[in-house]
Amino acid sequence: MVVDKPSGLVVHRSAGARDVPALLQLARDATGGAHLFPVHRLDRGASGVLVLARTPEAARALHEQFEDGAADKRYLALVRGEPPHAGVIDHPIPRREDGPRVPAVTEYRCLETVTVPFRDRAGVERAQRYSLVEARPRTGRLHQVRRHLKHAGHPLVGDVNHGRVEHNRWCRDQYGLDRLALHAAALAFDHPATGARVRFEAPLPPDLREPLARMGFRV
């Protein structure tokens, strides 16, 4: 089962989110109570393509593709600054919270950069560049795209853990961007039953597309 997850929706309930709707439960309700297995993660603030398996066997087969890079994932991210036109970030990060660092690789390319006015914490106005980046993680690690782009010096806008408060606030107040600027735009993998290569895409949702357009991006 493939769904287009909106920003703000958790995939499954946890200790810190027991009283909010969870995508996994909503998907089960939509399929008449079928048991579903999450294959990979999407942060609560992120949106886009998410895969759920309907059997444990399919979940294992798909999970292996996500772990070893056989699945092709394409994310769109709004970042601070202007990255190089294209590059590869090869930097170890944990596979899960409090776990050891393991190899992790993300390919990226800068799609477009805009320059907009920005007022810093001291009230000084200056020009600030923001870029729309396509990221293709080749491994499946916890918060990989967010961690890697921060490591490269270009943190995501709207990221409360790895970004900058003043940029998050500025983009919210000036452009209406009140979410993590990360969207899982496309996903391709080998179907666990047939072996055929399948691909799914999710368009930019209004809560991300409209703020990007206000900033001057051609979306």
Residues tagged active-site: 43
CA 178, CA 211: separation in Å to the nearest integer?
9
Q: What are phi and psi of 104, to 5 degrees?
A: -150, 135
Report the chain's C-alpha Rg in angstroms.
Answer: 18
CA 101, CA 91: separation in Å to the nearest integer?
9
Write down the number of H helices and E strands in the chain: 5, 11
Q: What are phi and psi of 58, to 5 degrees?
A: -65, -40
- Are 70 and 64 in contact by the 8 Å Cβ rule? The answer is yes
Instruction: Enter the tokens of residue 217.
Output: 């991006």
Please identify which residue in the block is written with the tokens 């790895």: 162
Query: Cα-Cα-Cα-Cα dihedral of 204, 54, 102, 153, to 10°?
Result: 10
